[in-house]
Amino acid sequence: MKKARKTPDSKVLASILVLARKGQTRERLAEAASLPDTQFRRHMAALVDGGLIRYDLSKKLWVTTDRGYRYLKS
């Protein structure tokens, strides 16, 4: 039996960043990622910790940062 992955998948991280380019709600990002909630939270934590995504309080949306755009280009 395969062990569950502990590290976030780079393809999933990239897909979340692409969706968040113009701003998205958490619910929309979670729906598009198609992951169980615990895995989605782990991926979002990795993005926030890496400075790749941020929460815009005024718009109440998750938005890709400049660093996130550079990650997508690499």
Is the confidence at residue 1, as pLDDT, over 60? no
Q: Give every CB contact of residue 19 below 8 A, 6+ residues apart in sequence.
A: 28, 29, 32
User: For residue 25, what pLDDT band results from cuts at 50, 70 and 90?
Assistant: very high
For the entire predicted model, the pTM comes to 0.86
What value does the mean pLDDT take over residues 54-63? 98
Spell out the domain ranges in the chain: 10-73
Say what percent of the chain tops pLDDT 70.
91
Pairing of the two strands 61-64 and 53-56: antiparallel
Q: What CATH number matches the domain at 10-73, 1.10.10.10, 3.20.20.30, 3.30.1360.170, 1.10.1060.10?
A: 1.10.10.10
Q: Determine contact, residues 37/31, Cβ cutoff 8 Å.
A: no
Question: What's the rounded Cα separation, in Å, for the pair 68 and 51?
Answer: 7
- Region 28-57 average pLDDT: 96
**Nearest residue to 20 (alpha-carbon basis) of 69, 57, 70:** 69
Q: Check residue 31 and give its pLDDT.
A: 95
